[in-house]
Amino acid sequence: MQELQGSSRFDRRAVKVDEAARLVLGAAMPGRRESVPLGQAAGRRLAEQASASCDWPPFARSGLDGYAVRSADTAQATPQSPAVLRVVGAVAAGELARAAVVPGTAMRIMTGGAVPEGADAVVMLEQTADTLENGQPVVRVKRAAGPGQNIAQPGEEFRRGSPLFEAGTLLRPGHLALLATFGYADVAVYARPRVAVLATGAELLPVAAPLAPGTIRDSNSVMVAAMAEQSGAAALPLGRLADDRDAVTDALEAALAQADIVVTTGGVSVGDYDIMAAIMRGWAPDRLAEASVNSSLAEDRLLFNKVAMRPGSPTSAAVVKGKLVIALSGNPGACFVGFEWFVRPAILRMQGAAIETALPEAVTAVLDAAYEKGSPHERFVRTRLYVEQGVLHADPLAFGKSSMMASIPDADGLIRIPSGSSGLPAGSLVEVLLLQG
């Protein structure tokens, strides 16, 4: 019997998934920067380190409503014999006191007010009683106030110039609060990487089309575009292409002209119509050498066209005209896994994320159900995660059914089944890659 088909036709060398991801990250450099108003900066990543523009708090601030006092004046105070202090004014937030607190006096102060000169403690309003004595307002304090009590000292939280966040930090609402505090009305962030999305496959119809026999609607484009946007990219969905090498080549060319990353789905397998596989193969070093291509083309290079993982082993990546082309499988489950391993990290990296941050985040969890199959390659199985009594559990969804779309929306993790494993019993501690919410 002669040589088997397909796998031999393309001599694809499988690289391990971690190595493949690092190859992609090696080709994804932090990209363009832009300035955006603070109110639009959530979900973006800082392009420069942010630092404290002043000490924080900028002045001695009262933490609550009450009376600013000299702690020494209250040292002997008891409920039976309260300290009686003459009230010399009030200081609201936003203003400065017009007088100092001298011995035997106190000043009414509001939350956030600047503690007046002379005072070194604030007594909570609820722990005081005010009255008039000889027509003068006085306040009674029935307990000793400690020096510094209820006062945030200048610079206590931040020193002017001290770093707040590093470049590459993903900005969440709490980051914006600190940036506002320090006057960042505009923020330097990385521009959204432009991610072109191209679906290949003669069987694909637009979403709005009625089904014809043998056809299906393109579901990968909208999923990949949404995943790209979720990662901070601007998605450019460029539609569907039949399995025609010239048409796909032209479309890739056009996509490369307008995008930072080109993601394709479908056509990466071993079949006769697997156009992306053939095109990617054209960027392999041996092919380029054969073709005695010019130097610009010689910089194009295949990164890998087989990954030692299931699903998604034919996932491929190349650098073309200095940009990443990532060819995902057309199988929705494989497309999803390929995105998490290669496309999301590249998008994050182009926004300045450190390499370790850009890679999928992994945790350990207890496997709820036995996984029976061994596999020559690592396998990624969609799972739901939940916590019980402080223990993280992975409840696998549709074990071994990567083609099933139904469980993709429910997944919040991917269980990593080691290669060669003869299966894992329920209760095993497994590695799980976390998916975005």
User: Between residue 395 and residue 414, which ones bind a second copy under the rule CB under 8 A?
Assistant: 403-406, 408-411
Among 73, 120, 243, 260, binds a second copy (CB under 8 A): 243
Which residue in 13, 132, 210, 290 binds a second copy (CB under 8 A)? 210
**Cβ 61 to a second copy shortest distance, Å:** 8
* Residue 435 token pair: 């998916």
Strand ranges inside 21-169, DSSP E? 33-37, 50-51, 61-62, 66-69, 83-91, 105-109, 121-124, 128-133, 136-141, 151-152, 163-165
- CB distance 46 to 169 below 8 Å: yes
Work out whether 429 is an interface residue with a second copy (CB under 8 A): yes
Which among 296, 293, 336 is positioned nearest to 312, based on CA atoms? 336
CB of 21 to a second copy, least distance (A): 19
Nearer to a second copy, 27 or 197 (CB): 197
Taking CB under 8 A as the criterion, the residue among 105, 221, 305, 315 binding a second copy is: 221
134 in contact with a second copy (CB under 8 A): no
Residue ranges of the alpha helices (H) in 305-387? 332-338, 344-350, 355-358
State the CB neighbour count (10 A cutoff) for residue 139. Answer: 23
Kindly identify the residues of this chain, within the stretch 44-83, that bind a second copy according to CB under 8 A. 54, 57-59, 63-65, 79, 82
Asked if 188 interacts with a second copy (CB under 8 A), we say no
Interaction with a second copy in 281-320: which residues (CB under 8 A)?
none
Structure tokens at 329: 């499988």
Q: How far apart are the first and last CA of the chain?
A: 51
Tokens of 7: 């796998």
Residue found under tokens 């450190």: 354
Report the nearest approach of a second copy to the CB of residue 159 (Å).
12
Alpha carbons 233 and 255: distance in angstroms, whole number: 15
Q: Residues 190, 283, 304, 336: which binds a second copy (CB under 8 A)?
A: 336
Pure H helices in 124-219: 173-181
Q: Are residues 326 and 261 in contact, defined by beta-carbon separation less than 8 angstroms?
A: yes
Taking the complex as a whole, the smallest distance from the CB of residue 43 to a second copy amounts, in Å, to 8
Q: How long is the chain? A: 437
Distance CA 383, CA 375 (A): 18
Q: Dihedral of the CA atoms 258, 262, 264, 267 (nearest 10)?
A: 100
Of 272 and 290, nearer to a second copy (C-beta) is 272
Q: Between 27 and 280, whose beta carbon lies closer to a second copy? A: 280
Nearer to a second copy, 140 or 323 (CB): 140
- Report if residue 13 touches a second copy, rule: CB under 8 A: no
Applying CB under 8 A, does 215 fall inside the site for a second copy? yes
Q: Are 141 and 77 in contact (CB under 8 A)?
A: yes
**Restricting to residues 316-335, which ones interact with a second copy according to CB under 8 A?**
330-332
Stretch of 245-253, 293-301, 387-395, 413-421 lying at the interface with a second copy (CB under 8 A): 387-395
Fill in the per-residue mask, 90 to 129: x = in contact with a second copy (CB under 8 A), - = not in contact.
x-xxxxx-----------x-xxxxx---------xxxxxx
Cα 273 to Cα 213, 248, 267, 311: the distances in Å are 19, 12, 7, 20
- Give the range of 24-32, 150-158, 295-303, 415-423 binding a second copy by CB under 8 A: 150-158
Nearest to a second copy of 201, 300 (CB atom): 201
When asked if residue 356 is in the footprint of a second copy (CB under 8 A), the reply is no
- Comparing CB distances to a second copy, the nearer of 57 and 312 is 57
Tell me: does residue 14 bind a second copy (CB under 8 A): no
Minimum distance of a second copy from residue 343's CB (angstroms):
12
Cross-strand partners of 132:
137
Where in 153-182 is the site for a second copy (CB under 8 A)? 157-158, 165, 172-182
